[in-house]
Structure 1
Amino acid sequence: AAAGAELVRVGPGEAGSKLPELGVVIYPEDVEAALGKLPLLSQLGPQQLLLDYDPTRGHGLDALRAHAALASAFSAATTLECVVACDGDLDAELSAVAAMVRQAGLRLDAIAVSPSVDRQSTPPGSAWPACPALEDVYAAA
């Protein structure tokens, strides 16, 4: 401790506010490793599995099946973080994702959709990339 600094003591006290739930992001390519480390994942104790799904990076039915295997093996709420290309009919694009989720047997508690163009930086004064209104993206989800 620095000279003149007071000693800090930490001990049990009254319960305070509840902490937010802890989540772990899982990419399809990491599912096999996560399945092999379930005791370590349990020790971490996440309440949420945030399952990455990005068709613009080649994710498809196999990625969703992998996520389904992890969701079946580990008890936590599941959120599919779904990137959408938004380059055509949103209803058709997201209906196709929903059909694959069902086909994969993936149990979901929530879905978070994000247009693929939102992953890039748009500096101040720059033109925004073409993208449907978020209200339309969310409505299609």
Structure 2
Amino acid sequence: MVSQKTIDIVKSTAPILKKEGKKITSRMYEIMFEKHPEVKSQFDMSAQADGSQPAKLATAVYAYATHIDDLASLKSAVETIAHRHVQTHVQPEQYPVVGECMLEAMKDVLREDATPEVIAAWAEAYQALAEVFINREHKIYEEEGVS
């Protein structure tokens, strides 16, 4: 799914993601809600206000960084998140929006640590993970008879 170089780079960012993850995800939501206010209705804004949603996402991003080469270990988390996405009507075309905002947030928070090589690796890694979610959510929509 992703190159070995991407795996190595993403795994190397895990320590900084553990430290700065919530800042990155909080910033990502700020950027996304500013640029794409239409998605706000899909989010529990109280979970934004109390910081629980950015914290959950930061934990998930860190888990992905540490297990990018062992996605089977993330199956339970993917399943939970995919079902939540279906409940909130996430659509495949929304994934690029989130990815763009996440990369921008990484650049804002990580500054010089967000080298072009790191951002390129995370762009590739995000796309691969987005495809996992899109495919799983598509199956859930089909199972539930929702298109």
Tell me the TM-score range normalised by the shorter chain. Answer: under 0.3
Larger RCO (CA within 8 A; separation ≥ 6):
2
Normalising by the residue count of structure 2, what TM-score does the alignment of the two structures yield?
0.27
Larger Cα-atom Rg: 1
